[in-house]
Structure 1
Amino acid sequence: MNAHRPMRIALLALFLVATTARAQRAAHAPAQRVGSPQPYTIGVIETLHSTILGEDRILNIHLPPGYAADTVANYPVIFLLDGSAEEDFVHVVGGLQFASYPWIQWVPPSIVVGIANVDRRRDLTFPTTIAADKEKYPTTGGSVAFQQFLAHELVPFITSNYRAGGPHTLIGQSLGGLLATEVLFRMPYLFQHYLIVSPSLWWDGGTVFDLPHDAWMAPDIGVASVYVAVGQEGPGMVKPANRLAALLRKESQARIGYRYYTDMDHANILHRAVMDYFQWRSGK
């Protein structure tokens, strides 16, 4: 027997132990960053000067996947009231991303234009005759000017600077739902689809229903669908929403949808309503 064999075996064992230990330490070494962190963006920010409103307006704009690569394709546009980054823009874009997946196809890939607020009470309400509301909300009453901004500045800007070739959708909640209803009555041709969520139709004692609204009854006006949604928000919100849906079903030739959510309220209804609207609109 070789007298050095036990020594060689011992050295080999030590070598294997040391090698294994080094390998284990290497396997558990802290991960190393490659390059520097990069921003993850879901859109671009445009600043548009409005002559009608006499101020600059911020637009948050989401472009669908492949927009830059395909320079020919045109896309539908979703115009979102309360569209600031800290308001509804991010989660509506997320909902759209899911709804437009190839294996879902509730809606086609679309451009989203989030209209950031400056003074939402001013822009989204018409003048009120109720003294208490005038005193509590002194800047209200500018919705007609805001609608002129939409019709003559915002929509033309988007169609001129982006490949906006499909139907236009307007989404509004609360006072935004009030404004969307007013647009539907005053200039329904501006959008082809309307999602009206928890609309504040109680404003000025419900006089929005007194506005002339025979324009959207014409078969050639171009309104394809209107979807009204409301949750557990009290009779002051629910009854006018019911009334609006009934009026639309009676007098409009557009496809009309209505949903009353027994498990949603004013604070949490929007995300659910948007997703349900996308699915309803697809007919799936």
Structure 2
Amino acid sequence: MIGNRILLFFIFLIFQAACFAQKGTPLSIGISEVLHSDILGENRTINICLPDNYNPSDSVRYPIIYILDGGVDEDFFHIAGIVRFVTQPWIDRFPQSIVVGIGGNTRRRDFTFPVENTDFIEKEGFQRANFPSYGGSEKYRAFIKNELIPYISGNYKSNGKQTLIGESLAGLFSVEILLKQPELFNDYIIISPSLWWGDEFLLENADKLLQRNLKNNINVYLGVPNREEDLKMYNESKALSEVIKSNKQIHFVFDYIPDELHSTVIHQAVYNAFRKLYPKTVYSKE
């Protein structure tokens, strides 16, 4: 009998706690929209974080920061947090910005370019079965250029300045855009890129592609984690950095982050990218 009373008492406490919790105000950092792509023949979830002072009725326009791995279970939340931090008025390292995360990607298909054969996959230590679909990067670049960017610019207050953030396979895709369509973005934040894809085709052709396609000044950050974890990846990134820094139209930062691994580097790298590309900040005693 006493045991039943104790049980009922705890059930009552849990019920009261639940009722109390429901009285709170929900927290929200953004909105999610579904964008249909005719180019891809699929829907994409687009997560959007607006500046605190965003007002559709005023004349203020904002830079757009695109996150390739931008799902809510990927990098959207913590990168949006970094952007919010560096754009606070007492820091003012980067202008107030709209953050756009692209969710629902089929990464191995969307972020890789076509190859004649896949022998290199096993040479790199992966199984070919892990890449049942690949080579869709051209379509995905077209989706970003012809559908996503126009959609964001048409529905949100863009000022035309655009940043791209990509890591690993998304870093490979970011390098491909940088080399083939560099005019799409003003800033490239590239982290631990998978340059091994296609037997290092992009790396081998980087200088030729940049010379042919780059017409305007841009900013590029390339961050890499501990070289002992993957020396080949480090050497590939270092070789790419030599090509990029030789181009006078690129303000370039190479950032070696020895305390991070491939799986942990993105958060520190994105923070470093804003700090190193835009070192000036406002000092406040408050």
* TM-score above 0.5, yes or no: yes
- Equivalence for 2:269: 273
In structure 2, the gaps of 5 or more residues are 1-16, 122-127, 281-286
Matches within 5 A, 1:66-145: 66-68=53-55, 71-128=58-115, 129-131=117-119, 133=121, 134-145=128-139
Which of structures 1 and 2 has the bigger CA Rg? 1
In structure 1, the gaps of 5 or more residues are 1-29
Taking only the aligned residue pairs, the percentage that are identical comes to: 37
- Equivalence for 2:28: 41
TM-fit CA distance, 1:140: 1.1
The amino acid across from 1:209 in the alignment is L
User: Quick one: which of 150, 155, 170 aligns to 2:149?
Assistant: 155
Q: Which whole-Å CA distance do the structure 2 matches of 1:34 and 1:47 have between them? A: 30
CA 162–213 in structure 1, closer or farther in 2 if over 3 Å, else same: farther
User: Quick one: which of 181, 186, 190 aligns to 1:192?
Assistant: 186
TM-score (norm 1): 0.83
Contact 1:188/1:223 (CA < 8 Å) preserved in 2? no
Q: Deviations over 1:60-108 (max 9, x none)?
A: 0010111027621000000101000010000001111111111111111
- Equivalence for 1:171: 165
TM-score (norm 2): 0.83
User: Across the two proteins, how many residue pairs are aligned to each other?
Assistant: 254
Q: Deviations over 1:208-264 (max 9, x none)?
A: 124465564479833420000001131121011101111001134110000111111
* SS at structure 2 position matched to 1:251: coil
Q: Which whole-Å CA distance do the structure 1 matches of 2:209 and 2:114 have between them? A: 22
* SS at structure 1 position matched to 2:82: helix
TM-fit CA distance, 1:131: 3.1
User: Quick one: which of 227, 242, 250 aligns to 1:246?
Assistant: 242
TM-fit CA distance, 1:166: 4.1
- Equivalence for 1:57: 44
Alpha-carbon RMSD across the aligned residues, in angstroms, is: 2.2
Q: Which whole-Å CA distance do the structure 2 matches of 1:132 and 1:207 have between them? A: 11
- Equivalence for 1:230: 224
